[in-house]
Amino acid sequence: MNESELLYEVMRELGKHGAVFRTNAGQFYTKGGHLVSCLPKGFSDIMLVLPGGQACFIETKVGSNKAMPEQEQFLKRMQLLGARAGLAYSVHDACVICGVDAPPDTS
């Protein structure tokens, strides 16, 4: 499984528990040549808002891939602010980080 496949599997599962968003960080150019700035570098792949307003931030990785320093800093900052945040190598990991019912771990 590649990282994109994991990301969308995690989104499907987390979407059962709240409002889930795929996020994009960094900058890109439009077809018209305009520079667009998205979320800051390091912002997590997925944001989930649970009933009651609890925010969760998930950075998905596969295999031996690790978070970049900016991603680690972002996750730590979110945790310090009271959000659930972490690095997920499986759908099960993401559910545990968010504190929601997790399907069996098949990894």
Strand partners, 25: 39
Could you report the per-residue pLDDT of 89-100, keeping only the tens digit for each? Answer: 999 999 999 999
Q: Where are the alpha helices (DSSP H) in the chain?
A: 3-14, 69-80, 91-98
| Structural domain includes residue 14 | yes
* pLDDT value at residue 106: 65
| 18/107 Cα distance (integer angstroms) | 24
Q: Is residue 106 part of a domain?
A: no
Side chain identity at 62, as an amino acid letter? V
**Of all residues in the chain, what percent are helix, strand and coil, respectively (each to 5)?**
30, 25, 45
pLDDT value of residue 11: 97
Domain containing 24 — which CATH number? 3.40.1350.10
Residue from 79, 73, 77, 40 nearest 56 by CA: 79
Domain count within the chain:
1
pLDDT in tens, 27-63: 888 899 999 888 988 999 999 999 999 999 999 999 9
Q: How many CA atoms lie within 13 A of 81 on its CB side?
A: 12
Mean pLDDT of the chain: 93
pLDDT beyond 80 at 104: no
Q: Is there a domain that residue 103 lies in?
A: no
User: Would you say 55 and 84 are in contact if contact means Cβ atoms under 8 Å apart?
Assistant: yes
Tell whether 77 is covered by a domain. Answer: yes
Give the range of the structural domain holding residue 50, as residue numbers without chain letter: 3-98
Q: Would you place residue 26 in the very low, low, confident or very high pLDDT band (cuts 50, 70, 90)?
A: confident
Element (H, E) at 56: strand 55-60
**44 φ/ψ angles, rounded to the nearest 5 degrees:** -65, 155
